[in-house]
Amino acid sequence: MPEKKVYIPTKPKQKAPPAPKPYFRWDKVPVLITLAELATLFDGDQETLRKLCKSGEIPGAKKIGARWIVERDTLRRYFEGDYSPPRISLADADAIAAMVVEKIMRTRGGFA
């Protein structure tokens, strides 16, 4: 009598991070990508992508007002393995921001 094969379920594999769809071209992607566009490109959930942006796991993501914007070229370099994060200290970034604000205040009389 032949042996019965027993199916043993295995643990589900961990979900891999979203990867670009294989059929899209980077030159067709907008230079600045919104979360909605990013979700469409990577078949992801906007809320998950928002959390990844906030935690710094998506390179090139910047919060402008209430919106997250991702730079296409930074994202492309990241997926091609050619990305290195900018090397600037927090103190230097603060000093640069203060200089920019001061220059705007002097030349334009403030933010309009």
CATH number at residue 34: 3.90.105
Instruction: Check pLDDT > 80 for residue 93.
Output: no
Cα separation, 26 vs 73, in Å, equals 8
Rounded to two decimals, what is the model's pTM? Answer: 0.51
Domain with 47 in it: 26-85
Q: Is there a domain that residue 33 lies in?
A: yes
Q: How many domains does the chain have?
A: 1
Q: Is there a domain that residue 109 lies in?
A: no
Q: Is there a domain that residue 44 lies in?
A: yes
Q: Is there a domain that residue 95 lies in?
A: no
Q: Is there a domain that residue 15 lies in?
A: no
Q: Is there a domain that residue 64 lies in?
A: yes
Q: Is there a domain that residue 92 lies in?
A: no
Q: Is there a domain that residue 108 lies in?
A: no
What pLDDT, on the 0 to 100 scale, is given for residue 19? Answer: 59
Residues 35-64: tens digit of each pLDDT: 888 888 877 888 988 888 888 888 888 888
For a pLDDT cut of 90, what percent of the chain falls above it?
A: 0
